[in-house]
Chain A
């Protein structure tokens, strides 16, 4: 029997690997776990946005001897969270730079005793003037970070932008803004830690990147690699929100464990999670665009500014992705992107699905409709005239070597949505209806994997081993948090080896067991890590053929028999692979030129909205999404990624507003931070065009972030279509529509008896 021919696992809707445990309620998330003698931890946080900490007083009415108390002075190693720069303290020491920054940690055996104790600690501050907005930060009147408030800047140049304006038939400018967005994973951040002088630190946590936490703990505790162990527990949603923050939280739990001599659990409640953890970077993007008389782009001058919050965290890489996505999927001979990330005195902004791309794409795709309006061209036609095609070069002068099928995606989106018929119907109905309907589109790409040379630096290692009870295990630090990592990596392994899906398991996501396959971010798991697993599978089979007599054709039993033969002769059956860049990849970090990404996923969205001129509210009534993500590894999971991303981005566009009061998130409750419910999400139609990518696992490219990029501009373009009014800021709430609509379109329909 020919095992490989029988299994076509990749591309089939196998059951989610950990699905049954989740459905039975048996999956164990961090708050479901207990350790012997475990205490509970809590955090005392800054109540001011910026200032010096003068004193920390403990109310004598509390018996503090019952508590473990940790301040910055207790940190054995370096007091900073290891990410890109070492600017963020693990615990504020002498000064605070944002509200809700951690200053003191407490642990007690009874978690109900903690709240009173937190409230009984009084911190005296000497306030310093805070900076809250991009505009305040870039004025540089008050310097709050470094010498100039500038966390990072990039300059990307192609051609000669300045010479293009004079000969242009049209020059169109626009200013686009996006707000903070909360991830609102339904499981709050949490961690459990244990410490002993002998074996070091162990933490369990709800997290995306075990080795980020591992690296950070090594520095904070001044411990060698083998004395720090990080284990990811079942993770109830992340979306980037558990990329960098767990490095801080796990350290807090571990410090309390060291101080108390007990295992310590810290699980935030929703109010604390909302107030104290990262959000999506707010942005302001300015476009100045030159076009010729036929609507062809001549020059794009783009300024990107993001609000990074109090510390750098991941702002530089978020800004990089925003920079590289800001020109959109268009050909333009002259492009300049100047981008800057500014410090402010708010909770640091961090990773969030899309990672700078949703901000940049909101601007360019809104701007394309503004250009179309200004030059009197159909927005669809304007996009068609400027789309990238195979062989074209991007703003970084990356040549599009793979097929680019934007026209085909657009055609299909228009056909599936019956765009022109609907559009005509709305144009006819709107004048006599207080509810105005409209359609909007967005076209965009999302770069798969780390930017530029990022994957080379990561140098990921992943592999497979075979257990004595005849299971193949996937050895990766890539984590499952809903997106389907476990399922697709086991599919890939099974397909690559030619065994059944049920014969492959995930090794525990434990840094003492698995290699560092890089962080689970950046739409890289399917394409990059998946490819390593595919190679590891082929390599394993080749190894067994060479050293254990495996035939060219084999059954499952013959495969595992060969593994046993190999084990007897050579020891452990392991196959590891390290990242190899696709050929012809060149990237210059200084000039920002070259292959920005090894591959791009492409998409076109169509949104249908209804704007009610009685209440100024907008409803997304229907949504179509067509995309090319390479080979679809699992149709159900892939569809779920697209739908979930679109729903989250509908929230980003129309509902989700972080309300700040003096640098503190004022609406830090689920009842006041409004995400779409089952009643608010429209029917979403998802279509894939598949063009396998040679260097991704079985042809896969990235998928997870793509769907968050397009909905906001598509929806606001649809609102313009419905009302004739341009809105350039999200979130766009009814109150914002009211401010413009009530002036221009009073609802007074003539009333007569």
Chain B
């Protein structure tokens, strides 16, 4: 334990309004902490720079999963265990349920929150690619009110995002319109559990009359933040799946990703495996859709 607990303040207002008031009082002073699966690791390593923390744990207004006919709203403090336990998510957004199962271990899933995964902004975040592939929106909240943006516009750089200093991520909205889409996600980690992504790819595509009418491709660990692969998507729109379109998509993907060499893998490996995963997804589209 390299951090000194006495060097940090932690408050637990217990309500969303209380947290927002604190954030508004001195914008930038307070760092929210939810399940602690990221910040407490930094604390133990003596790397937690935030002196003043405010707890989001145990705030009912932030921990919810609500369904309407059009969408599922997931509160920012919903845990990945909550996500896995939600039947509607399992049936309508299986990729999200799958990626929730990849978060650390059972003990991590019971504490790690959807909001924390996004706000932390790791390039390797497990839930980000699928939320991008499902075209999720997110809602931000402050004492000034709320605003809703597309999740794809949330990350603005390495560990940077669209949140204002007094704002909190409030909820993630998943549109319930992917029933007819072909869906794919694969994580390539350092091992089968308790792994950080070396590469991950999520994809949703709508095929009509043998052509790709709609496609979303999103990746982790291929850029400074989780990102859509727009050029690869563009190369596929309106095209049939054939060797030419697959090759074009591989080439487009390789042209737009910027993976790095780091302690876990190499840029070259990440590039090739990302292209292989895309290839695997596109090949899978040639087989009939599995009945659900």
Answer yes or no: do A and B interact: yes
Question: What is the interface of chain A, defined by CB distance below 8 A to chain B?
Answer: 111-113, 115-116, 269, 271, 434, 614-617, 619, 655, 659, 666-667, 669, 671-672, 674, 676-680, 734-735, 738, 742, 747-753
Check if B188 is an interface residue, CB within 8 A of chain A: yes
Provide 28 A-B residue pairs closer than 8 Å at the C-beta atoms, listed in order of the A residue.
A112-B5, A112-B6, A113-B4, A115-B4, A116-B4, A269-B2, A271-B2, A614-B279, A615-B188, A615-B273, A615-B276, A672-B263, A674-B190, A674-B195, A677-B191, A677-B194, A679-B191, A680-B192, A734-B265, A734-B269, A735-B269, A738-B273, A747-B279, A748-B279, A750-B243, A751-B283, A752-B242, A752-B243
Contacts of B266 in A (CB 8 A): 735
Interface residues of B in 269-290 (CB under 8 A from A): 269, 272-273, 276-277, 279-280, 282-283, 286
Determine the distance from Cα of A734 to Cα of B276 in the docked complex, in whole angstroms: 14
B191 touches A655 (CB 8 A): yes
Contacts of A679 in B (CB 8 A): 191-193
Residue of A at shortest CB range from B44?
Answer: A269
Kindly identify which residue among B2, B191, B282, B283 contacts A676, using a CB–CB cutoff of 8 Å: B191
Check if B264 is an interface residue, CB within 8 A of chain A: yes
Determine the distance from Cα of A141 to Cα of B265 in the docked complex, in whole angstroms: 32
Determine the distance from Cα of A677 to Cα of B191 in the docked complex, in whole angstroms: 8
Determine the distance from Cα of A659 to Cα of B190 in the docked complex, in whole angstroms: 14
Contacts of A655 in B (CB 8 A): 190-191
Dominant SS among interface residues on chain A: loop
Determine the distance from Cα of A734 to Cα of B197 in the docked complex, in whole angstroms: 13
Kindly identify which residue among B188, B263, B273 contacts A667, using a CB–CB cutoff of 8 Å: B263
Q: Which of B195, B265, B276, B277 has the most CB of A within 10 A?
A: B276
A480 to nearest B CB, angstroms? Answer: 28
B194 to nearest A CB, angstroms? Answer: 5
Total count of chain B residues near the partner, CB < 8 A:
40
Residue of A at shortest CB range from B264?
Answer: A672
A177 to nearest B CB, angstroms? Answer: 19
Contacts of B45 in A (CB 8 A): 271, 669
Determine the distance from Cα of A37 to Cα of B3 in the docked complex, in whole angstroms: 23
Interface residues of B in 176-226 (CB under 8 A from A): 188, 190-196, 198, 210
Dominant SS among interface residues on chain B: loop
Kindly identify which residue among A271, A619, A738 contacts B269, using a CB–CB cutoff of 8 Å: A738
Known: A111-B1, A616-B273, A617-B188. 8 other contacts (CB 8 A): A112-B6, A269-B2, A271-B2, A669-B45, A674-B195, A734-B188, A735-B265, A742-B272
B260 to nearest A CB, angstroms? Answer: 13
Determine the distance from Cα of A32 to Cα of B196 in the docked complex, in whole angstroms: 32
Residue of A at shortest CB range from B210?
Answer: A753
Check if B157 is an interface residue, CB within 8 A of chain A: no
* Complex A-B, nearest 7 residue pairs according to Cβ-Cβ distance, in ascending order: A679-B193, A679-B192, A112-B4, A735-B269, A677-B193, A614-B276, A674-B190
B218 to nearest A CB, angstroms? Answer: 18
A751-B196 in contact given A614-B273, A615-B273, A676-B191 (Cβ < 8 Å): no
Determine the distance from Cα of A742 to Cα of B268 in the docked complex, in whole angstroms: 11
Check if B241 is an interface residue, CB within 8 A of chain A: yes
Kindly identify which residue among B241, B243, B276 contacts A747, using a CB–CB cutoff of 8 Å: B276
Kindly identify which residue among A614, A617, A667 contacts B280, using a CB–CB cutoff of 8 Å: A614
Per-position 1/0 for B34-52, Cβ under 8 A of A: 0000000100111000000
Interface residues of B in 241-261 (CB under 8 A from A): 241-243, 246
Check if B240 is an interface residue, CB within 8 A of chain A: yes
Kindly identify which residue among B195, B210, B272 contacts A738, using a CB–CB cutoff of 8 Å: B272
A751-B286 in contact given A680-B192, A680-B193 (Cβ < 8 Å): yes
A751 touches B276 (CB 8 A): no
Kindly identify which residue among A113, A269, A738 contacts B1, using a CB–CB cutoff of 8 Å: A269
Residue of A at shortest CB range from B190?
Answer: A674
Determine the distance from Cα of A738 to Cα of B286 in the docked complex, in whole angstroms: 26
Residue of A at shortest CB range from B240?
Answer: A753
Determine the distance from Cα of A753 to Cα of B285 in the docked complex, in whole angstroms: 10
B47 to nearest A CB, angstroms? Answer: 11
